[in-house]
Chains A and B, each alone.
Chain A
Amino acid sequence: MSQELIDAITDMREDDVLRITNELLDGGASPLDILNACKAAMEVIGQRFETGEAFIPELILAGEMMTAVSDILKPRMAEAAASDKLGKIVLGTVEGDIHDIAKDIVVFMLDLNGFEVTDLGVDVPAAKFVEAVQETGATIVGLSGFLTLAYDPMKETVAALRENGLNVKIMIGGGQIDEQIRDYTGADAYGRDAMAAVALAKEWVKES
């Protein structure tokens, strides 16, 4: 695994990341090795986020660097595609709320941490969550909402998932979401940020 690549990612040196990736490929490195270096770097950034040394800018920039690297790797990715996933998650911003930035960061961090995430986008009706869980067989659902108007749609979505007898764990998150709202909606947990979502998801797949 290239320490040079890991350092470039964790230092947010975007140009170097692309240059090193190309150099490694030209030198015969396997895409899987490069992907593993990316994962190792993202673990460092995730830990920094948890300890308050990295913030949203670093998560967004890291996300963009990962996208750029995977664009380079994609044509040569056949060997790397089949890695096992930890679990399946359906995630979206609830009906009536059109905010996507925080949701996108959570999707990205879950994906990076080995989950297969179905991103339903924004303004998602309860029925669509139900349908997506039925189709994918996901065991975890994430509901995002930035505004206070998300409280009731979250509650309705939790109720719809339960009424349909779906055996899923549900997490909620967003600007004005707290324990009060977890209790109100009947969700299983709420998370303050993307790393909290990852921690919850890992805990839940371990339990199941």
Chain B
Amino acid sequence: MFVRPDNWKELSPMERRKVRLDNWQNAPVEFMSPEAEANYKERIGRLRKIYDMEPHDRPIADGFMGANEYVVRRKGMNGKDMVYNHEKLREPLLEFHNEFQPDTAVSPLPYPGKVMDLLNYQTYIWGGQKLPDELTIQAVEGEYMMADEYRVFAADPTDFWLKKYIPRVMPALGPLAMLTEFPRVSENVDLIDMILPFGLPPFQAMLQTLMEAGNELMKMLGAVGQTGAMIAASGFPSMGFNIVKTPFDYLGDTLRGTKGILTDMYRRPNDLLAACEAYVPVLINAVVNASDRNGAPAALYVLHKGADSFMSQAQFEKFYWPTWKQVMLALYEEGITSYLFIEGSYNKRLQNLAEMPEKSLVCHFDQTEMGPVKEILSDKQIIAGNVPASLMATGTTDEVRAYCGNLMDLFGDAPGYIMAHGCYFENTTDDKMRAFIESVKR
């Protein structure tokens, strides 16, 4: 929970950022020992200095976006365990942190398997459901908004999401389509339309399912929360994020699918642009509200279809960048840092990122060439990445050491650098993880 100070309106974006980061850094933790407390404070202090681009003793190595499955797979956990058996992950996670003493907490994403089952969730398949137990989770692309629905979406994205998108991807919530349009509920008789669905058996059955899903979610959050608290108590901080996408990626990944969105750039460019614009205020509102609720000082963008190979620079600057930039600038004004997980490569987009205000971004690269990144961005923004997943999975320990060593040569003296993986991987070896973690301590 983040409570804005009384003078919030008078604060500059950088002052607001400081207040949010202070709130995160000083969040109460019940430590297991004085030693754990000292370690936690040293680690979070170093991470904070990196975010502030202030002098500090060394970069950190953060395995969160790469090793998040390995940390439990190394002890025999499989994909199904990560989706359904959250209690079972605790011991391996605590062991990993104890043994490796990483700079930050690393754990799998909290996939709510039982909730996904109850809702009959369509946009993923997962271990223990349609995938073999060994595998974790994979996206299933679909066309969940038809080409002729752009205008309906742009008129009211929230209404579209509630009454069309959710019923399509979570059939158990199909009765949500019965709901009225809420902004027209103003006179007493309007309550009839508003409440009517709640009296109908299919809607009531859906409410029962939702309550059941809510109960399952609370169980899962209890387990995950306890594990997270124990990792923090042992001395390992984590950055607080709210996950978000760009307007184009919500429309592409989630609603239209890759083929749909990329051909829409030719077939209905104006509809696509209008839908991206309509998304901007919705996203700003959503991220600011979430950051206030949970105190996370950063928004984590998982970036997909703006990568070099997906579209030309002209298409990027017409369809992808402008509305995304609007969202990031608005979050910057609210003191929220945008953490960009840039999948694929962004060799052609670095000048666009350079347009953003100083310290507004953490740019986490996958396959982008890091030389130009150093030159163009590293004085203004925090940089992270780009240890290849392929190297972690199949290279030798010496190769990992050499790759990380080169990154240290390049970024060791940068104002803010985080050693990190370019993409997540299922498996590596303890020796390679150690080489990654130790690489920043030279």
Contacts and interface: CB of A to CB of B under 8 A. Distances in A.
Interface of A: 12, 14, 53-57, 60-61, 64, 96-99, 101, 147-149, 151, 175-178, 180-181, 183-184, 193
B169 interface: no
B132 A193 contact: no
B135 A148 contact: no
A151 B395 CA distance: 12
A149 to B, nearest CB: 5
Given A96-B135, A148-B423, A149-B135, A55 B309 contact: yes
B363 to A, nearest CB: 19
Interface of B: 125, 131-132, 135, 138, 140-141, 258-259, 262-263, 265-267, 309-312, 315, 343-344, 388-391, 393-395, 423-426
Question: What are the 6 A-B residue pairs with the smallest beta carbon separation, nearest first?
Answer: A184-B394, A57-B262, A180-B390, A148-B425, A148-B389, A181-B390
A53 B314 CA distance: 10
Contacts of B309: 55-56, 193
Contact of B423 (A12, A55, A101, A176): A176
A55 B310 CA distance: 6
Contact of A148 (B132, B315, B390): B390
B311 A151 contact: no
A18 B265 CA distance: 19
Contacts of A54: 312
A109 to B, nearest CB: 14
B43 to A, nearest CB: 28
Given A14-B266, A60-B262, A101-B258, A55 B311 contact: yes
Given A55-B315, A149-B135, A193-B309, A177 B390 contact: yes
A178 B344 CA distance: 12
Interface centre among B388, B394, B424, B425 (most CB of A within 10 A): B394
Contacts of A99: 138
A155 to B, nearest CB: 9
Given A55-B311, A57-B263, 11 more contacts: A14-B267, A57-B311, A96-B135, A99-B138, A101-B259, A148-B425, A148-B426, A175-B343, A178-B390, A180-B390, A181-B390
Contacts of B311: 55-57
Q: Which of B135, B140, B390 has the most CB of A within 10 A?
A: B390
B252 to A, nearest CB: 11
22 contacts: A55-B310, A55-B311, A55-B315, A56-B258, A56-B262, A56-B311, A57-B265, A60-B259, A60-B262, A61-B263, A64-B263, A98-B125, A98-B140, A101-B258, A148-B426, A151-B390, A175-B423, A176-B389, A176-B390, A180-B388, A180-B394, A184-B393
Nearest to B422: A176
Contacts of B315: 55, 57
A147 B138 contact: yes
